[in-house]
A and B are shown apart, each in its own frame.
Chain A
Amino acid sequence: MRRSPAATSASLSWFQLRMLAPLIAVASVAVGLPLVYAFYLSLTDFSLTQRGAAELVGFANYGASLTNEDLWGAIGTTFTYVIIAITLETILGLLIALSLQKQEWARDLTRAMLLAPMFITPIAVGLTFRFLLNDQLGAIPFLLDSVGLNYDFLGSGKALLTLAIIDVWQWTPFMVLLLLAGLESIPKQPLEAARVDGASAFYIFRRITFPLLIPVLSVAVLLRSLDALKVFEYVYATTRGGPGTETETIQYFTYQTGIQFFRLGEASSMAFILLLIVLPIIVFLFRRLDQRASK
């Protein structure tokens, strides 16, 4: 029997299906099931302390969460944090990447050391900074004190900025990594041509390098933003949301609602509200990456 083209393509998809099957099976249990269950939870009054079965309450949790001023406060705090951190990381990351690109001496070692923070577990970073910033035992207040300065890093009005700076310490390397790769993949000819024509270094950067870097830069900013929105460990290690509720971020607030106050239904509705907020960013990121990958 001759195989028809249709049979060939059918066997192809059978092969594809078998290859995809392990991923689909694991992802259904690890992502699909909990996602559906989380949505179900968000529609119930489920609570860890309650005996008896949870009852469906429709969208009551969503109504409660959306009118919860503390949740909006946490969303505002998180966005302030993300904007401060990502802005600083982008500027510093770009400067460091540009410097590293031209640096020859101990090149690989310098790069490896500068990138190290992004591989450290964030709770260790948070606790290290809490230790460094401690008024009696920390090195930073000690150094400031020796020049006659006094600054309360985790005090009111300053704590959120301090948390953002911790983020900058840990994650600027991520920006550097991506931007350096972006810089090194820029074709050399236009740069050479501009230099021969006598263009200044700043002009070359502004008119050639920077525009060519924008695709990588936008991917880096989107990835970092999605990650920074999930900030939890620094808050847990240093301020626990304080002073007052100044540093209560979305992830920390949801954790408190679900784990400390046992209100899982309400916490799940908050998580879905967060998901709705980040979904457009994810779609935007996907379009950037997928377009470029299929080129």
Chain B
Amino acid sequence: MTSRPAGVVRGIFLATALVIVLFPLVWVTLASFKTPQQLNDPSLLFFLPSLDNWRFILDGGILEAAGRSAFVAGVTVGVSAIAGSAAAYVISAYKAGGTLTRFGILAAQVLPPAVLVFPFLTIAYMTRTNDSLIPLIFAHLSFVLPVVTWFLIGFFDSVPRSLEEQARVDGFSRFKAFLLVVLPQVYPGLGAAIIFGFTLSWNDMFYGLILTPTKSAILPVAIAGFNTFRGVELGSMSAAILVAVIPVVIASFFIQKRLVQGISGGAVKY
């Protein structure tokens, strides 16, 4: 359809964009296999890979931090999926809660964390749960729950109401019609919402830095601990970064298409 020169320009442009996107990731991967001496030479591309950095971070508590991150993300997204799908269904089907509820759900997603973090910290001190994962889970629920609910409202909107009406005629209670007939229709959307919600919790550093700074540090906080920036630690920092990056980047490949519909609350379909 388009002319040849335009196609060539487009190809070069996209290739440049790809190089810019991939370059930092490749660089960090290379650095994670370099010895401190090799790190002094930024031009070094081919070398005998060393696993010292990886051994160092695996012994140094990164796996425990990753475990805590996965636990917080898992609990947060589990609660969000259950509470969110029930609420999203009645909000979509019956406009339950009205405009104010929908506005609240959107506003909570974009609320600056600086507003909520200090109350979480003082309440944690008062209840002697400071530096534990409990306040962090509540803090993460404050944004993961609204995001998951918002996603699901959009997905429920695209399920025809006649399905539920037919299930009611067949003798299902309202709840059974929701659980057994309507909910399975949005399983792919629910899956995308769960993966995205998990990613949001896994990636958050701000709440973790303030609520679990030391003994219960989650992965992003543990990575930020490499910020001392002594040359020796760059290799292990790179390895730790990859531990945080690889799982979510792989998971994201499966949800990219549904993400648009979810983020826009069903306003934009892909």
Residues of A in contact with B (beta carbons under 8 Å apart) = 12-13, 15-16, 19-20, 22-27, 29-31, 33-35, 37-38, 41, 46, 48, 92, 95-96, 99-100, 102-103, 110-117, 119-125, 127-132, 136-139, 142, 169, 173, 177-178, 181-182, 184-185, 201, 215-216, 219, 223, 226-227, 229-230, 232-233, 236-237, 250-251, 254-255, 258-259, 264, 267-268, 270-272, 274-275, 278, 282-283, 285-286, 288-290, 292-293
Which of chain A's residues has its CB closest to B221's CB?
A: A123
Q: Closest Cβ of chain B: how far from A234's Cβ, in Å?
A: 11
Which of chain A's residues has its CB closest to B157's CB?
A: A293
Say whether B187 faces chain A, with CB atoms less than 8 Å apart: no
Q: Closest Cβ of chain A: how far from B200's Cβ, in Å?
A: 10
Contact among B83, B89, B149, B223 for A124, CB-based, below 8 A: B223
The answer to whether B14 touches A100 (Cβ under 8 A) is yes
The answer to whether A127 touches B241 (Cβ under 8 A) is yes
A282 CA to B210 CA, complexed, in Å? 26
List 13 other contacts, CB 8 Å, given A34-B115, A131-B234: A20-B101, A29-B138, A37-B122, A92-B17, A100-B14, A102-B10, A103-B10, A123-B205, A124-B241, A251-B206, A275-B112, A289-B264, A290-B103
* With A19-B87, A169-B20, A216-B268: A136-B122 Cβ-Cβ less than 8 Å: no
Q: Closest Cβ of chain B: how far from A201's Cβ, in Å?
A: 8
Prevailing SS type, chain B contact patch: helix
Q: What residues on B are CB-neighbors of A25 within 8 Å? A: 83
Q: Top 3 closest A-B pairs, CB basis?
A: A23-B87, A22-B83, A34-B119
Q: What residues on A are CB-neighbors of B99 within 8 Å? A: 290
A129 CA to B270 CA, complexed, in Å? 32
The answer to whether B10 touches A26 (Cβ under 8 A) is no
Contact among A23, A35, A115 for B115, CB-based, below 8 A: A35
The answer to whether A19 touches B220 (Cβ under 8 A) is no
The answer to whether B224 touches A120 (Cβ under 8 A) is no
The answer to whether A177 touches B118 (Cβ under 8 A) is no
The answer to whether B119 touches A41 (Cβ under 8 A) is yes
* With A113-B22, A122-B203, A123-B224: A270-B270 Cβ-Cβ less than 8 Å: no
The answer to whether B267 touches A137 (Cβ under 8 A) is no
A121 CA to B94 CA, complexed, in Å? 37
The answer to whether B24 touches A137 (Cβ under 8 A) is no
* With A116-B252, A122-B205, A271-B115: A131-B238 Cβ-Cβ less than 8 Å: yes
The answer to whether A219 touches B267 (Cβ under 8 A) is yes
The answer to whether B227 touches A289 (Cβ under 8 A) is no
Q: How many A-B residue pairs have CB under 8 A?
A: 291
Contact among B102, B112, B125, B227 for A271, CB-based, below 8 A: B112
Say whether B5 faces chain A, with CB atoms less than 8 Å apart: no
Residues of B in contact with A (beta carbons under 8 Å apart) = 1-2, 6-7, 10-11, 13-14, 17-18, 20-25, 27-28, 31, 39-40, 42-43, 79, 82-84, 86-87, 89-91, 94, 96-97, 99, 101-104, 106-108, 110-123, 125, 138-139, 141-142, 145-146, 149, 153-154, 157, 174-175, 178, 199, 202-206, 209-210, 219-220, 223-224, 226-227, 229, 231, 234, 237-238, 241, 244-245, 248-249, 251-253, 256, 259-261, 263-270
Q: What residues on B are CB-neighbors of A230 within 8 Å? A: 112-114
Contact among A20, A33, A223, A275 for B263, CB-based, below 8 A: A223
Q: What residues on B are CB-neighbors of A236 within 8 Å? A: 205, 209, 224, 227
* With A12-B94, A20-B90, A128-B24: A121-B116 Cβ-Cβ less than 8 Å: no
The answer to whether B28 touches A131 (Cβ under 8 A) is yes
* With A110-B18, A113-B22, A255-B210: A26-B79 Cβ-Cβ less than 8 Å: yes
Q: What residues on A are CB-neighbors of B10 within 8 Å? A: 99, 102-103
The answer to whether B122 touches A282 (Cβ under 8 A) is no
The answer to whether B220 touches A124 (Cβ under 8 A) is yes
The answer to whether B122 touches A23 (Cβ under 8 A) is no
The answer to whether A237 touches B139 (Cβ under 8 A) is no
Contact among B145, B237, B245 for A27, CB-based, below 8 A: B145
- A-B contacts, 27 of them at CB < 8 A, read A15-B174, A16-B90, A16-B97, A20-B86, A24-B87, A26-B145, A30-B138, A34-B116, A34-B119, A38-B115, A100-B14, A114-B17, A119-B199, A121-B203, A123-B205, A125-B24, A131-B238, A136-B40, A139-B23, A226-B110, A236-B205, A236-B209, A236-B224, A251-B114, A268-B119, A271-B112, A292-B264
